[in-house]
Chains A and B, each alone.
Chain A
């Protein structure tokens, strides 16, 4: 069952009609609908291409949040072998919004860490919709430290609406946990590669994405605040999220222009959710190529280059 976004409604109608025709034909052998259905398919294909050719920033936010997009759990299966989850922050709990552990990426031992949003109501609640609490960042810090000491590159997959705004999370030091996680990213002498695969929400994202190389999937977003949040503060109207999404420059294309990210990973026509296998394979190839740029470098260079990159970031604005 395809999940359609609001702006995909006209597409849903056409694809639905084609599907209906074929269903009718299956019941009634006399009917020959293939020609008609194929025409609808062609029309849908053109419409899909037109819709995705020039997605507005707000539409990209919707695509980035699409429930059928591949999540960390899917990437772990598709791109890694021997994935061995490691749990807990050794202080309070294991935060299921963050998955992470040892794994092999194309035979090379790595530490992989990612936000997990969940795929249905039950798993979404279990993973807290990908919104980490302090324990999640502290687990990540522990895993990054492990990678650092044993020379394993770190790969992070970012997909979060942001840090969890909860009472306990604040009491247990959400701010400190995020600050320390960002700090840990900056201390690593092993390559740190980050891919924003869906939503890169604010501090919850930067705590994992202070990386040597940051890539974004073509329709993912990365922002200091959600367009809805920004709209309600600056426009005093949460319904102005389209304007806010535009102004915030949160698309992969704008962020590449600003020098905040290093590359864009193309998505299949109609978004990663339409063909997760192809999207994940592209992510795998991008990780491999970014890793190849870094693995031969000295630990000091890896650390110093990462620091310099962030110190210099933003000095050129949109002209970067």
Chain B
């Protein structure tokens, strides 16, 4: 299958990397302390080249690597009311939002897209830890609902990459209400008989874990990802003892029966393709890089406001 390898993808990848990653920047690995050149790090999907630590990755960068040829079509997410509680802490919520939007060049903490992976049509949704710690508010809920609706309408599997520091406190109770809201979305996919695969990435905590991230047909986590409801610090304060090494990390959860698999980012795509094709009753995938598919037309039936 060499004839199709390196056909379009390198071109598209370099196109995206150049636009997104500022040059001359170094990132320190928070696990081993190695200074990593930004470009090198993004080419390795934000996995430390020295120790293999999986750092957060933006949904856009992840989708570039996930979808065949880096090609995907964004699915529109209905915008919720801005600042629904008129929340005031030391900063105004709209100001925090603006800062996050400026820092990430994204609208909100979730990106929804459709496209093909290993020539298998899917809908994917990824949470952005870089955007207000991926916190779950109305927009994140709307994104998951839009993703579920698109998956059901087109009879595609839904893949969700979770990453969240917790609730969007500035949306108070409405943040909490995303737990039942997103659960309804998961139910829609389930009842349509479509696979719902959750990839839990570092960190996935709080209400996100206690709703859509723990309701998958298959749970895959990235290595060493922190996955929990209550964080380790809160637990240490409550039980007044030191927690064991690796507590609430992906491998620990695998041992305790909460996950199906722990899979490295570099192998994630192939694994998703394999699982999804089996669940969808499709023949085995052709391995290796495939030429980019024709760009999909924007979905005509974008979810209603």
Residue numbers of A with Cβ under 8 A of B are 163-167, 169-176, 178-180, 182-183, 185-187, 202-203, 206-207, 210, 222-225, 230, 233-235, 243-244, 247-250, 255, 258, 260, 307, 310-311, 313-318
Contact = CB atoms under 8 A, between A and B. Distances in A.
A196 to B, nearest CB: 11
B243 A167 contact: yes
Nearest to A309: B180
Contact of B89 (A167, A180, A247): A247
Contact of A224 (B169, B183, B187): B169
Given A314-B80, A316-B81, A249 B184 contact: no
A125 B173 CA distance: 29
A250 B213 contact: no
B3 to A, nearest CB: 46
A248 B229 CA distance: 21
A4 B86 CA distance: 33
Contact of A223 (B173, B210, B211, B238): B173
A180 B175 CA distance: 18
Q: Is chain A's interface secondary structure helix, strand, loop, or mixed overall?
A: helix
A172 B256 CA distance: 7
B174 A165 contact: no
A248 B170 CA distance: 7
Given A179-B211, A307-B184, A313-B177, 10 more contacts: A175-B228, A178-B211, A179-B209, A180-B215, A182-B183, A186-B187, A225-B169, A235-B90, A249-B172, A313-B180
A170 B253 CA distance: 9
Contacts of A315: 80-81, 138
Contacts of A163: 210, 229-230
A82 to B, nearest CB: 31
Given A307-B187, A318-B85, A224 B238 contact: no
Interface in B71-113: 80-81, 84-90
A250 B228 contact: no
A165 B238 contact: yes
A314 B89 contact: no
B58 interface: no
Given A311-B145, A315-B80, A203 B176 contact: yes
Contacts of A247: 85, 87-89, 172
Contacts of A169: 229-230
Contact of B173 (A173, A179, A222): A222
Given A167-B247, A225-B169, A186 B183 contact: yes
Contact of A310 (B184, B207, B209): B184
Interface of B: 80-81, 84-90, 138, 141, 145, 167, 169, 171-177, 179-181, 183-184, 186-187, 206-207, 209-215, 227-230, 234-235, 238-239, 243, 247-248, 256-258
A145 B172 CA distance: 30
B187 A250 contact: no
Nearest to A243: B89
Given A174-B210, A176-B258, A316-B81, A183 B173 contact: no
Nearest to B93: A247
Contacts of A165: 229-230, 234-235, 238
Nearest to B184: A307
B182 to A, nearest CB: 9
B84 A317 contact: yes
Contacts of B243: 167
Contacts of B180: 182, 185-186, 206, 210, 310, 313
A223 B172 contact: yes
Given A166-B239, A186-B187, A224-B169, A206 B81 contact: no
23 contacts: A163-B230, A167-B243, A169-B230, A170-B229, A170-B248, A171-B256, A172-B256, A175-B229, A178-B211, A179-B210, A180-B215, A183-B183, A202-B207, A206-B179, A222-B173, A235-B90, A249-B172, A250-B173, A255-B173, A260-B173, A310-B180, A314-B138, A318-B86
A248 to B, nearest CB: 4
Given A166-B238, A174-B230, A234 B173 contact: no
